[in-house]
Structure 1
Amino acid sequence: MRFEVLPVIDLMLGLYHQPAGMERFHQYLKHLQGNTRGDLAIPLGGFNPMGKAHVAEKLEQLKALHAEDIMADTLSSLGPLASGGVFKVALNLCDDLKGGWTHRYTTDYDARFKIQALVARGFCVPVFWTSESYDAALIRSRTLESCYRTLYWLTASKPLTLEDHGKQERYVAIQAGSIPFFSDAAIAAFYQQHKDSREYAVIFNFLYGDEAAASLGFPTFGIPGAMTGLRYLQQLT
Structure 2
Amino acid sequence: MPEQGDDRVIVRFADRYLTDGDDLTTRHSFSYGAHYDPANVGFGPILAINTERLAPGAGYGTHRHSDVEIVTWVVEGALRHADSAGGGGVIRPGTAQRLSAGTGVEHTEVNESTESPLEFVQMMLASTHDAAPEYEQVEVADEAGRLLETVTVRAGARLYVTRLEPGDVVTVPSAPRSLVHVTRGVVRLDDTVLLAGDEARLGSVGPYDLSAVSGSASVGGEALVWQLET
What is the TM-score normalised by the length of structure 1?
A: 0.27
- Higher share in strand: 2
- Higher share in helix: 1
Larger radius of gyration: 1
What is the TM-score normalised by the length of structure 2?
A: 0.28
